[in-house]
Structure 1
């Protein structure tokens, strides 16, 4: 299950999102949009107007959204518990 953060350098909201994901122990990949202009255009065409854009299996959002990051952490924890119960 991959989580991708599309970000730009020197973006405070991007840094805060990455920091919160790290604090919660969530693995993620960062894509620097300044190095991927085509991806930046695709995100803009999809309606995203701010960074970061976070793409997770159960949600996608833009901007620093601590509430959604916490929801993601709960979702991942519940999934891990379900998998552990099956073992």
Structure 2
């Protein structure tokens, strides 16, 4: 799985910082979108029912808040043959 995750964040958000640090540690690529500067993204997150940051969107799963358990699962699956096509 080489496609980057998308992380929707807010400034000065401790859980957002912890999430991006954990993604860095797990060597998982990601794109950050600031919800305070992207109104469309903010509206979309509310439509999906998310009310707190960060929101992480992966290939087939999404979550909000700092979830090291989900980050570990995504990292473990990164090289799985069914996802890499090997």
Q: TM-score range by the shorter chain?
A: 0.7 to 0.9
| Structure 1 unaligned spans of 5+ | none
Moved over 3 A (4+): 79-83
Higher helix residue share:
1
TM-score, reference length from structure 1: 0.86
Distance 1:38 1:81 in 2: 30
| Structure 2 unaligned spans of 5+ | none
Q: Rg bigger for which structure? A: 1
TM-superposed CA distance for 1:79, in Å, is 4.4
Q: Secondary structure at the match of 1:54?
A: strand
TM-score, reference length from structure 2: 0.87
Please point out which of 61, 66, 69 is paired with 2:68. Answer: 66
Q: Residues 6 and 82 (structure 1 numbering): CA distance in 2 closer, same or farther, change over 3 Å?
A: closer
Distance 1:3 1:57 in 2: 7
Q: How many residues align?
A: 84
Please point out which of 6, 11, 32 is paired with 2:8. Answer: 6
RMSD: 1.8
